[in-house]
Structure 1
Amino acid sequence: MSIWWSLHLRREAASVPLARRLLLGAMETAGVDPDTSYDLSLALGEACANAVEHAGDGSAEFRVTAYLDGEKCCIEVSDSGPGFPAGPLRAMPPGPAPVDAEGGRGLRLIEELADHVHFGNRAGRGGAVVSFDKIVKWRADAPLALTT
């Protein structure tokens, strides 16, 4: 069995904890290990916060899509703002962001919490896309875990 959901959220701060709670609730109900659920919800919160903060004045909403199937959870957050700047995003210097930096931690945190991460721009219509996935660990009593 799999779970797939998609949300269209207003680009406001209150949308971030809502998205996290919905993901946590779905994963808890499915029987995902709490540590895995927490990592993914924290990464989702960072991706949503980036959409809220950086999507620009012309973007009133953003979209979250999540897919939980078998051993993997895939999440995508997209907006219709200006997108990521041209050029490689990996141009950030290695290591943690400087202590006095105003930002720059969210994308790094997503990279640390997920197994695979992609930062890009939507083709044609513009806007940023942050997608990531993680191998799921299941609780022993998980109702949706794969049975072998």
Structure 2
Amino acid sequence: MSIWWSLHLRRDAASVPLARRLLIGTMETAGVDPDISYDLSVALTEACANAVEHGGEQGCGPGSEAYRVTAYLDGETCRIEVADAGPGFPGASAERPRPQIRPARSDAEHGRGLYLIEELADHVHIGNKPGRGGAVVSFDKVLKWRENAPLMAV
């Protein structure tokens, strides 16, 4: 069984819980274990918050006021991608596509989102879109299912 959906959202803080609730509802309906759903929803929240905060600073072109969330539940895996039209991650280049991520200070109020995503997901890709610019954060996690899950992969 495969399920996928894609949202085109305004870069507004109110869009973040909308994406999170849709993901949780999809996984609950499919019968995904609640702990896995929670981990993925926190990771999605962090990725969306980054897109809202940083995803349009280059700002003038069409789409700079929006970002996209796509989720795939395919077999035993859930893959989520959040892409924006901002300037992308500083320090990422063709030679080094993954930006250098430095740990946040223990007293910092920001800067932990990408670390949380890396801890909560099984595989994480963080980089910039080729060409037009913008950041892409994608991550996946192997799913566990509730007993008698209605859409459990076979």
TM-score scaled by structure 2?
A: 0.89
User: How many percent of aligned residue pairs carry the same amino acid?
Assistant: 75
Q: Distance in 1 between matches of 2:120 and 2:101?
A: 20
* Structure 1 segment 1-148 matched on structure 2, within 5 A: 1-57=1-57, 58=59, 59-87=64-92, 88-93=98-103, 97-147=104-154
Equivalent residue of 1:65, what SS?
A: strand
**CA deviation map 1:34-91 (0-9, x unaligned):** 0000000000000000000011341200000000011100000000000001245345
Moved over 6 A (4+): none
Q: CA deviation at 1:99?
A: 2.3
Number of residue-to-residue matches in the alignment: 144
One-letter amino acid of the structure 2 residue matched with residue 80 of structure 1: A
Q: Distance in 1 between matches of 2:108 and 2:42?
A: 20
Q: Distance in 2 between matches of 1:56 and 1:29?
A: 33
Equivalent residue of 2:48, what SS?
A: helix
Please list every run of 5 or more consecutive structure 2 residues that lacks an aligned counterpart in the other structure.
Answer: 93-97
TM-score scaled by structure 1?
A: 0.93
Change (3 A) 1:60 1:22: same
Change (3 A) 1:91 1:16: closer
- RMSD (Å) for aligned C-alpha atoms: 1.2
Change (3 A) 1:56 1:90: same
